Amino acid sequence: MSHEAISVFDMFKIGVGPSSSHTLGPWRAAQRFTKSLEQQGLLNRVTELRVILYGSLAKTGVGHGTDVAVQLGLCGDDPVTFDVNNINAKIADIKHMKKMVLAGKHEIDFDPAEDIEFLMSESLPFHPNGLSFLVALSHGENIAETYYSVGGGFVVKEGEDQHAGSEVHLPFPINTADELVHWCMKTGLNISDVVMENEHAWRSEKETKDGVLNIWRVMKECIYRGCHAEGVLPGGLQVKRRGAGLNKKLVGDRTYTDYDGWLKIVKEGGSNFTYILDWVSCFALAVNEENASFGRVVTAPTNGAAGVIPAVLQYYIAFCGGDSEEKIIQFLLTASEVGSIFKKGATISAAMGGCQAEIGVSSAMAAAALTECLGGTQRQTLMAAEIAMEHHLGLTCDPIGGLVQVPCIERNTMGAIKAITASQLALQSTPDYAKVSLDGVIKTMWDTALDMNSKYKETADGGLAVNVPLSLSEC
């Protein structure tokens, strides 16, 4: 059996909200398309360009900023480095001028209202998140390329092997939880140690550690920003941000000027159950309110579920003595491996599996990471992941107005709390007596995804999206 090689930096990607599959993925697809044109020597010959969005990308594309992401990607902007404060101005300029500079090099006429088409009633067979780029060239030639955003910012071009990165040979090839346990038992290594050994196939240990700490830097900056940003989220639902208000209530009249000062106050607040519960919710709300505002976030493993892992890691740092670089690295490496097993055995795309594929997977990742960092065995760590997912099975994706706001933001708080509960249950349990394995729950999740009605898979055609009487005239 072939083994797909997935790095920690595949699971955790720095990008821009509000969605990894509907924003980051299409952004990357647009970048890949312009790169393809350049490689073929065709970029400067483009005279016309049309973008077609299919299925889920079309139905919730406006709410998820898919059209915005595609335009920025076609312009050659990168989601890791582009100043998110300039997004609205750049998109407004394209709309007003009706021109675009492809890859920052070749200007063409482009009217987003005419040249981006939303085919809501059509879905491509490979994946619901499909988009095509149609180009007319000088001298009359036409070319087209189709891409699929398959979840978590992963992009597959039509006709290519979606496991193209698997030529990397890992010392510990893993597709399933059972295979992970096999290598842990054979070597005596923790899950995070196995992951680190595999990461050596791509880069040095120092590069991996530095990269993981950079992932945490982006996460904690996102938490801190979200805990201090007030106002109403964009999109027309008039959802008020709650992270800052909750932060103010918990901090009281104590003052600080930066993250470190703030963290010190959080730690000094004590260990009261409701106090800690409120902070975990605050951390998760903060991240996903930033995500909903086109802020910079980390896919964990997706943008819609980006608040769960940072919230649980921040909980571990603030209340469980995890405030060290080595522990942070251990947490994120463990989480990434569990996420990769879900991706290989099921999906991390809500358009394929509903919200169980996003919040459910992120909760399982966080539960496993917390358990290993708190001293759990390898089997207890995987048991925690199983417990977390087992109680997210069947969770639908029904965003109101196609926006990653209701119920998405609150679901991150629920996913974080479930992860902590799952970890505590696993730490107090004997995995030998467990009735359900992690591989078993992953298979069940995938079977559930296949059985789930498509209207509950990120289409805004079912559930809360059709039963909440809110005016979306501004969306």
pLDDT, tens only, 77-121: 999 999 999 999 999 999 999 999 999 999 999 999 999 999 999
Side-chain-facing half-sphere of 421: CA atoms under 13 Å: 13
Q: Helices 273-292 and 243-251 meet at what angle, rounded to 10?
A: 150
d(CA 433, CA 333): 27
pLDDT exceeds 60 at position 455:
yes
Q: What is the pLDDT, as a whole number, of residue 98?
A: 98
What local confidence, expressed as pLDDT, does residue 159 receive?
Answer: 85
DSSP label of 431: G
Q: How far is CA 274 from the centre of its chain?
A: 28
Q: pLDDT higher for 183 or 161?
A: 183
For the chain, where do the domains classified as CATH 3.30.1330.90 start and end? 15-164
Report pLDDT for 1: 54
pLDDT of residue 160: 80
For 331-348, what is each residue's pLDDT tens digit? 999 999 999 999 999 999
Q: What is the pLDDT of residues 395-416, one digit of tens each?
A: 999 999 999 999 999 999 999 9
Cα end-to-end span (Å), the chain: 47
Residues 308-319: pLDDT tens digits?
999 999 999 999
> Which of the 8 DSSP states describes residue 388?
H
Please, which pLDDT band fits residue 449 given cuts at 50, 70 and 90?
A: very high
For 442-458, what is the mean pLDDT? 97
Write the pLDDT tens digit of every residue in 268-326.
999 999 999 999 999 999 999 999 999 999 999 999 999 999 999 999 999 999 999 99
Q: Which CATH superfamily is domain 15-164 in?
A: D-3-phosphoglycerate dehydrogenase; domain 3 (3.30.1330.90)
DSSP notation for 270-329: ---HHHHHHHHHHHHHHHHHHHHTT-EEE-SS-STTTTHHHHHHHHHHHHSS--SHHHHH
Residue 271: half-sphere exposure toward Cβ, Cα within 13 Å = 4
The DSSP element (H or E) to which 100 belongs, if any, is: strand 99-102
For 138-169, what is each residue's pLDDT tens digit? 989 999 999 999 999 999 999 887 555 457 89
- Give dist(CA 348, CA 316) in Å, integer: 25
Does 475 have pLDDT greater than 50? no
Report the C-alpha gap between 364 and 385 in whole angstroms.
Answer: 4
Give the contacts of 368 (CB within 8 A, at least 6 positions apart). Answer: 191, 334, 335, 337, 338, 381, 382, 384, 385, 388
Reference 58, options 162, 111, 128, 8; nearest CA is 128
Identify the pLDDT of residue 473. 37
Q: What is the pLDDT of residue 162?
A: 59
Q: Is the pLDDT of residue 471 over 80?
A: no
Predicted local distance difference test score (pLDDT) of residue 4: 86
Take residue 137 and report the two structure tokens written for it: 């060239």
Q: Ramachandran region of residue 151, left (φ > 0), alpha (ψ -120 to 50) or beta?
A: left
pLDDT of residue 3: 79
**How far lies 452's CA from each of 151, 355, 388, 394, 412, in Å?**
17, 11, 20, 8, 21
Q: Report yes or no: 338 and 195 within 8 Å, Cβ to Cβ.
A: no
C-alpha to C-alpha distance for 358 and 371, rounded to whole angstroms: 20
**Distances, alpha carbon 155 to alpha carbons 19, 31, 265, 296, in Å:** 13, 11, 41, 19
Measured distance CA(411)–CA(419) in Å, rounded: 12
Res 163: pLDDT: 54
